Amino acid sequence: MPEKSHLVEREVWVENRLGIHARPATQILNLARQFEAEIVLEKDGCVANARELLSVLALDCPQGTRLVVRAKGADARDAAHAMVQLFARKFGET
């Protein structure tokens, strides 16, 4: 029986002062790699694979940027929730 695929979308805001630079981008990809779900970040129509550091950095997200987290797969709900929590914690920054 094929596994049921889920698609979950959540809106997040970059709240840390320095935006998404190498350290937060690394946290994003490390988190994404913990899940089977395909996770992408979308900014103004540009889409980045959350598992690819350069792809995430290329989105160019300063403080105040709005992103859409889109997760697809069996554990999509947990993956999207974890990603929202990471953004809410401001990546451990101020």
Q: Is 21 a catalytic residue?
A: yes
CA distance 18 to 77: 28
CA distance 89 to 93: 8
Point out the catalytic residue in the list 6, 21, 51, 77. 21
Query: Catalytic amino acids?
Result: 21
